[in-house]
Structure 1
Amino acid sequence: MSVCFRLLAPSAAVSLILVSSCSIALAKPSKARERATPAKVSNQTPPAPPPRRYFPDKPIQPLTPEIEAQLRPMDSFKECTSCPEMVVVPAGSFMMGTPANEPDRFKGEDPIHRVTFAKPFAVGRFAISFDDWDACLADGGCGGIKGDDKFGRGRLPAQGISFNAAKLYLAWLSKKVGRSYRLPSESEREYFTRAGTTTPFWFGNTITAQNANYQASTPYGGGPHGPDSKGPAVVDSYPPNPFGLYQVHGNVFEWTEDCFNKRYNEDTPTDGAPWLEGDCNRRMARGGRWDWSANMVRSGYREDGLVDGYGYSFRVVRTLNVP
Structure 2
Amino acid sequence: MRSCTPDERPQHKVNFARPFSVDRFPVTFGEWDACVAARGCSFQSSDRGWGRGMQPVINILWDDAKEYVAWLSRTTGRTYRLLSEAEREYVARAGTTMAYWWGDTFLPAQANCAPGNRELTSASLDLHQTAERARPLPVQSFAPNPWGLYQIHGNVYDWVEDCWNENYDGAPSDGSAWMTGNCGGHVLRGGAFSRSAQTARSAARMWFGSPNRLIYMSIRVARTLRQ
Residue 151 of structure 1, CA deviation: 1.6
Q: Does 1:191 align with 2:90?
A: yes
* Distance (whole Å) between structure 2 residues aligned to residue 106 and residue 145 of structure 1: 36
Question: Which residue of 2 is the match for residue 123 of structure 1?
Answer: 22
Aligned match of 1:280: 183
Report what 2:208 is aligned to: 305
Structure 2 residue ranges without an equivalent (≥5): 118-130
TM-fit CA distance, 1:138: 1.1
Instruction: Note closer, same or farther for the CA distance 1:113–1:147 as it changes in structure 2 (3 Å cut).
Output: farther
Which stretch of the first structure deviates more once superposed, 209-218 or 172-181?
Answer: 209-218
Cα deviation 1:188-241 (Å, max 9, x = unaligned): 0000000100010000011121110001468xxxxxxxx863211101111111
Contact preservation (8 Å) 1:216, 1:228: no
TM-score, with structure 2 as normaliser: 0.88
Residue aligned with 1:115, SS: coil
**Distance between the aligned counterparts of 1:314 and 1:270, measured in 2?**
24
Deviations, residues 11-67 of structure 1 (Å, cap 9, x unaligned): xxxxxxxxxxxxxxxxxxxxxxxxxxxxxxxxxxxxxxxxxxxxxxxxxxxxxxxxx
Matched, 1:108 2:12: no
Change (3 A) 1:156 1:235: same
Q: 1:121 corresponds to which letter in structure 2? A: F
1:133-174 superposed Cα distances (whole Å, 9 cap, x missing partner): 001111111123454533221111100011001111111111
Structure 2 residue aligned with 1:143: 42
Partners of 2:74 and 2:37 lie apart in 1 by: 15
Alpha-carbon spacing, 1:320–1:284, altered in 2? closer, same or farther (3 Å): same
Letter in structure 1 aligned against 2:202: S
Q: 2:154 aligns with which of 227, 240, 250?
A: 250
Q: Equivalents in 2 of 1:302, 1:159: separation in Å?
A: 18
Number of residues of Structure 1 aligned to a counterpart in Structure 2:
212
Shift of 1:307: 6.4
Larger radius of gyration: 1
Which protein is richer in helix relative to its size? 2
SS of the equivalent of 2:218 reads coil
Question: What is the correspondence of 1:141-220 to structure 2 with a 5 Å cutoff?
Answer: 141-216=40-115
Aligned-partner SS, 2:188: strand
**RCO greater where, 1 or 2, for CA within 8 Å and sep 6 or more?**
2
**Which whole-Å CA distance do the structure 1 matches of 2:72 and 2:45 have between them?**
21
In 2, Cα distance between equivalents of 1:188 and 1:306: 21
The percentage of aligned residue pairs carrying the same residue is: 44
Asked if the contact 1:215/1:228 (under 8 Å) is kept, the reply is no
